[in-house]
Structure 1
Amino acid sequence: MTSNHPATAPTTTTAIPRVGSSVSHGKTILIGEHAVVYGAPALVLPVTDVRVTATATPLPAGAEHTLRSSVHTGPVSTAPAAVLPTVTAVTATLRHLAGLGIDHAADTAFDVVVDSAVPTARGMGSSAAVAAAVTAAVADALGVDLDAATHHELIQECERVAHGRPSGLDARGVVADEPVWFETDVVEPVQLTGRFVFVVADTGVPGHTREAVAAVRARHDRAPAMVDSVVERIGGLARQARGTLVDGDAQALGATMDAAHELLSTLDVSSGDLDRLVGAARSADALGAKLTGGGRGGCVLALAADDEHAARITAALRGAGAAGTWTTSIGARAS
């Protein structure tokens, strides 16, 4: 979710720069990683409890943009390459607003502060979440509410700097309040019945998405029929999972998660660390558990029956060596 994300055209409330702010959040893939590369559908899950907050404060005339974050503090001209996507979030937003004729967009520098709880290189959309918060905060400082399409394209511009050819999964997930169905050119929210509680656990090992994607591609080149079969089955699980969300059937959703993990393991994108945490979640009677994201590191996703159950799963995951855990929920709150 973001504080600046209506489905209306950009509007201005003031022409005088002010302190702007915005909030975004992490995301994870519920079902569909790797298979989505080959045209299968995917379900993206917002992790709304793991947030990024950004503020943009106007600076005196003649100043240059500055950034304060866990990676860099100081003028953007001295920022390392690692924060170039964040710098792009500032400059691209101002360029866009200047093109619309927004006053002060071309001549105001900002001090941008980023406070992110989304871990990097864990498949939780860290770079997209930062871009979402920063772009909206800069726009807010100039009195502009970004419409959904413009906000998405600005995030994607930052993601192209970070990743080259982003699919758009992260850019959609980090601003969504509900799961997002992603299939070729169809991107739409999934309506829910009931409440679903998830635990995300970090192996402590950075994910290796590019390496894993390349390995699956190489396997597809060697054995296309096998990989295509797995892709088709994962796509089928994604469709089943969407139905279980609509129906409010947590038990059935958990079964699709377990099945998806086994299929991803056949593609050799799991790891000993991921399998250990998946096993720990299942030993705590998780309704389902799987790796999430590119794999070969990163995070696992477990489905709990309720908040109390989530606490037990969390304890089991920490006992199995999880470097960090987060609990998040989607859907209606329990009465």
Structure 2
Amino acid sequence: MHAGVGQTVAKIILFGEHSVVYGYPAIAMPLRNLRMIARVEPTTRPSELSSLGWVGPLDEAPARFASIVRAVDAALEFAGHPNARLRIETHAEFPPERGLGSSAAAAGAVIRAVLSAFDVDAEPEDLFDLTQMAERIAHGHPSGLDATATSSQSPIHFQAGATTAVQINLSAWIVVADSGIHGSTRETVGHIREEHERCPEVTRPRLAELGRITAEAVDDVRAGDVSGLGQKMNDAHRLLAELGVSNARLDQLTAAARSAGAVGAKLTGGGRGGCVIALARTSADAKRIAAALGMAGATGTWVYAPHAYEVAA
């Protein structure tokens, strides 16, 4: 065994959060400049974790690191060295609990680092399955979208476990803004599940509408229909708010983005905190929207050009 390194990235969900859990489609985009890096090396001491400012024995890690602990165990079992002792370190270039896929990214990076340390190759399907083991600890019943998107090189269409690359032909920019509030995907997924069981006649039509919007948005991103996509973002945010996964801060930020010229804006990820995304027609518009979001209380902003991705045929 030797030192190993693994890397994944942050992601945003353009459309389909929550409804994807019920079999509807989702569109997600990796944020390749926001990396999650894991490093592991052998040690003679009990396994140790250094992550998000916490350092200590792996078996004493706080509950928020449970998915990383599971990722280490799963990767060691896959590598055939379940009792190996490791020093594990993660470094994130984006904040946790913001709907950017931090738990899946951390698990995926750690798994890749452990397998690298043992020179063990794994197929994409194996990496997905291992990451899902860890994600079940973090989110209970994950759709698999985060596990896929945080290791993707291009935007993806995801539905019922099947993934295909999406060619985005939009001449537009996406502004991502951090609300500064921790979100909990596990909590919001659980909330919608409870509402789905309690009032299916109310919840099911909204989830179905989110599914329809996402399916039509795929055509918009391929055709370059910025106006149509922006309106669908606004409609999706309204439906997510009706499902109870928005909050006052997210509503305030999406409104501020629209007032600053965004074609559309919505929450992204689990909701009740985390991030919002806004669609801008030009780079200058994106900069103005990012500044307005900062004035409205966003603690961080990033601007991306989705048309910059190259999708292999």
Assess same fold via TM > 0.5: yes
Match of 1:45 in 2: 29
Aligned partners of 2:42, 2:196: CA distance in 1, in Å?
51
Aligned partners of 1:158, 1:321: CA distance in 2, in Å?
33
Residues 268-288 of structure 1, C-alpha deviation per residue, up to 9 Å, x if partnerless? 322211111001111121121
Match of 1:75 in 2: 57
TM-score, normalised to structure 2's length? 0.90
User: In the alignment, does 2:98 pair up with 1:109?
Assistant: no
SS at match of 2:306: strand
Match of 1:164 in 2: 140
Match of 2:300 in 1: 324
2:75 equivalent among 70, 76, 93: 93
Aligned partners of 1:74, 1:226: CA distance in 2, in Å?
47
SS at match of 2:147: helix
1:1-335 matches, cutoff 5 A:
17-59=1-43, 62-98=44-80, 105=81, 108-193=84-169, 196-221=172-197, 223-332=199-308
Aligned partners of 1:137, 1:307: CA distance in 2, in Å?
37
Unpaired runs of 5+ residues, structure 1, are 1-16, 99-104
The number of residues matched between the two structures is 310
Whether the aligned pair in 2 keeps the contact of 1:35 and 1:41 (CA below 8 Å) is yes
SS at match of 1:56: strand
Distance 1:217 1:127, change over 3 A: closer
Aligned partners of 1:221, 1:35: CA distance in 2, in Å?
15
Letter of the 1:265 partner, please give it: A
Aligned partners of 2:134, 2:198: CA distance in 1, in Å?
34
SS at match of 1:297: coil
Aligned partners of 1:84, 1:208: CA distance in 2, in Å?
15
Distance 1:219 1:89, change over 3 A: closer
Larger gyration radius, structure 1 or structure 2: 1
Unpaired runs of 5+ residues, structure 2, are none
Aligned partners of 1:201, 1:80: CA distance in 2, in Å?
28
SS at match of 1:331: helix
Q: CA deviation at 1:210?
A: 4.2
SS at match of 1:212: helix
Match of 1:5 in 2: none
Aligned partners of 2:88, 2:146: CA distance in 1, in Å?
22
Aligned partners of 1:165, 1:267: CA distance in 2, in Å?
18
Q: CA deviation at 1:39?
A: 2.7
Distance 1:210 1:156, change over 3 A: closer
Letter of the 1:155 partner, please give it: T
Whether the aligned pair in 2 keeps the contact of 1:195 and 1:333 (CA below 8 Å) is no
Residues 278-310 of structure 1, C-alpha deviation per residue, up to 9 Å, x if partnerless? 011111211210011222222111122243332
Letter of the 1:34 partner, please give it: H
Worse overlay, 232-241 or 205-214: 205-214
Match of 1:10 in 2: none
TM-score, normalised to structure 1's length? 0.84
Letter of the 1:36 partner, please give it: V
Root mean square deviation of aligned Cα? 2.3
SS at match of 2:177: strand
Distance 1:253 1:328, change over 3 A: same
SS at match of 2:94: coil
